[in-house]
Amino acid sequence: MARPREFDRDTALDKALRLFWAKGFAATSTDDLREAMGIGRQSLYGAFGDKHTLYIEALDTYQRRTNSGHLKRLGEPTSPLKGIEDLLTGLVSDDDCERALGCMGVGSVGEFGITDEELNLRREKASALLGRRIVERIEEGQRLGEVDPGLDPVEASAFVQMVMAGLQVAARSGAAASDLRSMGRFAIHRLKP
């Protein structure tokens, strides 16, 4: 008869997510995970599968949380341009330790590139959802006269997403919160008429 699980799976997943976010996939050992999660090897494999499967689940959880916040910041303001500005500046944590982690999704791109098909599909899905919503806000901004009508909304959305990635890389390299917010506001000015 199998022993009942003696740990909270969601809490353990959050601890794994945090470790992968800080160290990346390759630099995180199974022993690191077990220690951080407070579980044994058999519990780790029984509840989460192998290290790669756990990484995918942690990344999915991270992206679900962050994309929810991105979409909220983007959509809440009446002004489309303010929504895009909130999207960019909202990426910047005031907590130095949190900000220095950058973005787990961007980190996965840096670590895996396009070599992991499973990660590629997940990134494409997350990016496409956010990209469509940014396009909608840009088109809305063009109708309201807030965004340059000569801009291609799809290209402008790609620009905004590229700025998001750049801000996260700059955060990971130690950029100050004030500098990152300034970069975000600078990018917003490129969208104005």
- Give per-residue pLDDT as tens, 52-95: 999 999 999 999 999 999 999 999 999 999 999 999 999 999 99
| Alpha helix ranges (H) inside the chain | 9-23, 30-37, 41-48, 51-75, 80-89, 96-100, 104-112, 117-144, 153-172, 177-189
Question: Mean of the pLDDT values across residues 125-130?
Answer: 91
Question: Which one-letter amino acid corresponds to residue 172?
Answer: R
Judge whether 48 and 62 are in contact, CB under 8 Å: no
CA atoms lying within 13 Å on the CB side of residue 45: 4
Residue 119 scores a pLDDT above 70: yes
Q: Tens digits of per-residue pLDDT, 29-63?
A: 999 999 999 998 898 988 999 999 999 999 999 99
Question: Mean of the pLDDT values across residues 126-146?
Answer: 96
Give, in degrees to the nearest 5, the angle at Cα 93 between 48 and 167: 90
CATH class as words, domain 58-189: mainly alpha
Question: Mean of the pLDDT values across residues 166-193?
Answer: 96
Judge whether 66 and 137 are in contact, CB under 8 Å: no
Domain boundaries, the chain: 58-189
